[in-house]
């Protein structure tokens, strides 16, 4: 599966800790991320992460385009609900495209935990059929 990782600044440490905790599961999958999130996760875990532009420069849109092309199977987007981002419309597009294409997306760590356990259990295996 291809998993996209995105974290707002206030949630980057949380994303790092999450990826350290689930490194064993994540290492079996293909990872991509917005620029800074990807850099921090790969440095902290040693996981290979394809890095797009940073969110502010269009990284969210690069990931959204891949979702539209059915190339991403799951999104972990740890959002900071307290700070408004100038590129928020791009983030909303990403969330909408996940709904359009039925891509599971976690916007907080509680949902992220459920998705990662479900992924390990095989709950997302149907994606390999619809991706063909
Ligand atoms: O801004 C972001 C999400 O909208 C995240 O981008 P970075 O990972 O480059 O900080």
38 is in an annotated binding site: no
Instruction: Please confirm, yes or no, whether 125 is among the known catalytic residues.
Output: no
- Give the model's confidence band at 84: pLDDT under 50 very low, under 70 low, under 90 confident, else very high: confident
**How many Å lie between the centroid of ligand 1 and the Cα of residue 119?**
24
pLDDT at site 131:
81
Q: Is 73 in the pocket of ligand 1 (CB under 6 A)?
A: no
Domain 2-73+89-130 has CATH 3.40.50.970: no
pLDDT at site 87:
77
Question: Do 64 and 103 touch, CB atoms closer than 8 A?
Answer: no
pLDDT digits (tens, 9 = 90+) for 60-82: 999 999 999 999 999 999 999 99
pLDDT (average), residues 69-98: 91
The answer to whether residue 125 scores a pLDDT higher than 90 is yes
Residue 74 CA from chain centroid, whole number: 6
**How many Å lie between the centroid of ligand 1 and the Cα of residue 12?**
9
ipTM of the complex model: 0.96
Q: Of 27 and 130, which is predicted with more confidence?
A: 27
List the chain domain ranges. Answer: 2-73+89-130
- Three-state DSSP class for residue 99: helix
pLDDT digits (tens, 9 = 90+) for 23-66: 999 999 999 999 999 999 999 999 999 999 999 999 999 999 99
**How many Å lie between the centroid of ligand 1 and the Cα of residue 129?**
30
pLDDT at site 90:
82
| Dihedral sign of CA atoms 121, 123, 127, 129 in order | positive
Q: Is 54 in the pocket of ligand 1 (CB under 6 A)?
A: yes
pLDDT at site 89:
82
Dig out the tokens for 77 from the structure: 């987007």
């Amino acid at each position: 599966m291809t998993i996209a990782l995105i974290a707002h600044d206030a949630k980057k440490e949380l994303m790092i800790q999450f990826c350290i905790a689930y490194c064993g599961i994540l290492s079996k999958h293909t990872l991509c991320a917005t620029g800074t999130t990807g850099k921090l996760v790969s440095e902290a875990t040693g996981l290979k992460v394809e890095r797009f532009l940073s969110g502010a420069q269009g990284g969210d849109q690069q990931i959204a385009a891949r979702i539209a092309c059915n190339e991403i199977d799951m999104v972990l987007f740890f959002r900071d609900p307290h700070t408004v981002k100038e590129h928020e419309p791009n983030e909303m597009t990403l969330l909408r495209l996940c709904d359009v294409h039925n891509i599971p997306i976690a916007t907080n760590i509680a949902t992220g935990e459920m998705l990662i356990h479900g992924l390990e259990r095989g709950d997302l295996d149907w994606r390999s059929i619809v991706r063909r």
